[in-house]
Amino acid sequence: MSKDLNSSRIKIIKPNDSYIKVDRKKDLTKYELENGKVISTKDRPIASVPAITGKIPSDEEVFDSKTGLPNHSFLREHFFHEGRLSKEQAIKILNMSTVALSKEPNLLKLKAPITICGDIHGQYYDLLKLFEVGGDPAEIDYLFLGDYVDRGAFSFECLIYLYSLKLNNLGRFWMLRGNHECKHLTSYFTFKNEMLHKYDMEVYDACCRSFNVLPLAALMNGQYFCVHGGISPELKSVEDVNKINRFREIPSRGLMCDLLWADPVENYDDARDGSEFDQSEDEFVPNSLRGCSFAFTFKASCKFLKANGLLSIIRAHEAQDAGYRMY
């Protein structure tokens, strides 16, 4: 110890000091509330809330014995009780999903009726409520517009449950890529940390490989362009989407970036028709809110829709208090 150290400022704590002694005779299985009521620390405070399961399920429970596909009904309830999978089970489902999704085109061609859903962001119980309101995916077609992970605490459960529904309903359940389905954002936000807490880097990497094969956009009834973010100055024809190499991380610029990152300009609703814009006004402006991509104007939307014979753009990417918004 340094001789210059002021010894008067040092307090030596000894194991037998009274103020650090633990009362070993105290019953730690009981706790007295402020009102004097004594409760058991072994009992659940709210008995009606189901206990979290600590059991890793068997392969026979996770995978259907006849089809070999994930048992989505079992997974739904298992995840409801905050159950986990083994590492091998998780990677198997992710790899199966990657193979199936990689066979789909960049631009899906879909038929109505179809229920279209926006960002999920790790909210597993909201996802279950969505299906409760929207209907059984085995009977109703669904299109999800991306952003399944980050922010919420159950991103993995959302992703695996959606993938299990996809694998069991290949012709009527569809998933697009959102801007959060990439290594860059999941490392910055919460998904990577969630995966390292629940599993490990190998499972996280398998998730990211599945992100890289998700389709980028959908065309419904040849009239509605469905995408996570928006349109791009590089998007002249909807068929331009199929020219993209989507099997990679999301680039910082270009058509693929814009499809997943673009937003309408803030004053988009101020225009009722193209007549309010003079010929010199930009159709696209830098997206300062996001720090990348563009914000597109009403004029840009009208031009794109007219050139492709479309009625509307259906997008996600922004939370809406009412659940949806008509621009």
Q: Model confidence over 156-210: pLDDT tens digits?
A: 999 999 999 999 999 999 999 999 999 999 999 999 999 999 999 999 999 999 9
Domains held by the chain: number: 1
Q: Residue 101: which H helix or E strand, with range?
A: helix 87-102
The Cα 53–Cα 30 span in angstroms is 24
With the C-alpha atoms ordered 248, 249, 252, 257, is the resulting torsion angle positive or negative? positive
SS3 content of the chain, % helix, strand, coil (to 5): 35, 15, 50
Domain hosting residue 102, numbered range: 61-315
For residue 278, what pLDDT band results from cuts at 50, 70 and 90? very low
Q: How confident is the model at residue 223, as a pLDDT?
A: 98
Percent of the chain having pLDDT more than 90? 75
Domain membership of residue 297 (yes or no) is yes
Q: How confident is the model at residue 16, as a pLDDT?
A: 58
- Residue 145 or 5, more confident: 145
- Residue 191 or 37, more confident: 191
For residue 262, what pLDDT band results from cuts at 50, 70 and 90? very high
CATH number at 273 reads 3.60.21.10
pTM: 0.84
Domain membership of residue 37 (yes or no) is no
For residue 271, what pLDDT band results from cuts at 50, 70 and 90? low
Q: How confident is the model at residue 12, as a pLDDT?
A: 58
Q: How confident is the model at residue 46, as a pLDDT?
A: 80
180 annotated active-site: yes
The mean pLDDT of 115-130, rounded to a whole number, is 98
Domain membership of residue 173 (yes or no) is yes
The mean pLDDT of 215-232, rounded to a whole number, is 98
Residue 173, burial from CB neighbour count under 10 angstroms (0-12, 13-18, 19+): buried
Q: Give the CA count within 13 Å in the CB-facing half-sphere of 260.
A: 26
For residue 121, what pLDDT band results from cuts at 50, 70 and 90? very high
The Cα 154–Cα 268 span in angstroms is 34
User: How large is the C-alpha radius of gyration of the chain?
Assistant: 26
The Cα 38–Cα 44 span in angstroms is 14
For residue 100, what pLDDT band results from cuts at 50, 70 and 90? very high
Domain membership of residue 161 (yes or no) is yes
How many C-beta atoms surround the C-beta of residue 81 within 10 A?
Answer: 12
The active-site residue out of 72, 78, 121, 180 is 180
Domain membership of residue 33 (yes or no) is no
For residue 15, what pLDDT band results from cuts at 50, 70 and 90? low
With the C-alpha atoms ordered 299, 305, 309, 311, is the resulting torsion angle positive or negative? negative
Calculate the average pLDDT of the chain: 91
The Cα 244–Cα 251 span in angstroms is 11
To the nearest 10 degrees (0 to 180), the angle between helices 191-198 and 155-168 is: 90
The mean pLDDT of 216-221, rounded to a whole number, is 99
Residue 153, burial from CB neighbour count under 10 angstroms (0-12, 13-18, 19+): middle
Domain membership of residue 323 (yes or no) is no
Domain membership of residue 210 (yes or no) is yes
Place of tokens 């390292």: 196
Q: Give the CA count within 13 Å in the CB-facing half-sphere of 140.
A: 16
- C-beta separation of 95 from 206 below 8 A: yes
Q: How confident is the model at residue 14, as a pLDDT?
A: 57
How many C-beta atoms surround the C-beta of residue 118 within 10 A?
Answer: 21
Task: Give the residue among 162, 156, 107 at the shortest CA–CA distance from 137.
Answer: 162
The mean pLDDT of 18-28, rounded to a whole number, is 64
Domain membership of residue 12 (yes or no) is no
Q: Give the CA count within 13 Å in the CB-facing half-sphere of 104.
A: 28
- C-beta separation of 72 from 180 below 8 A: no
Q: How confident is the model at residue 1, as a pLDDT?
A: 45
Sheet strands (E) in the chain? 30-32, 38-40, 107-110, 115-117, 142-144, 173-175, 217-220, 224-227, 263-264, 284-286, 294-296, 312-315
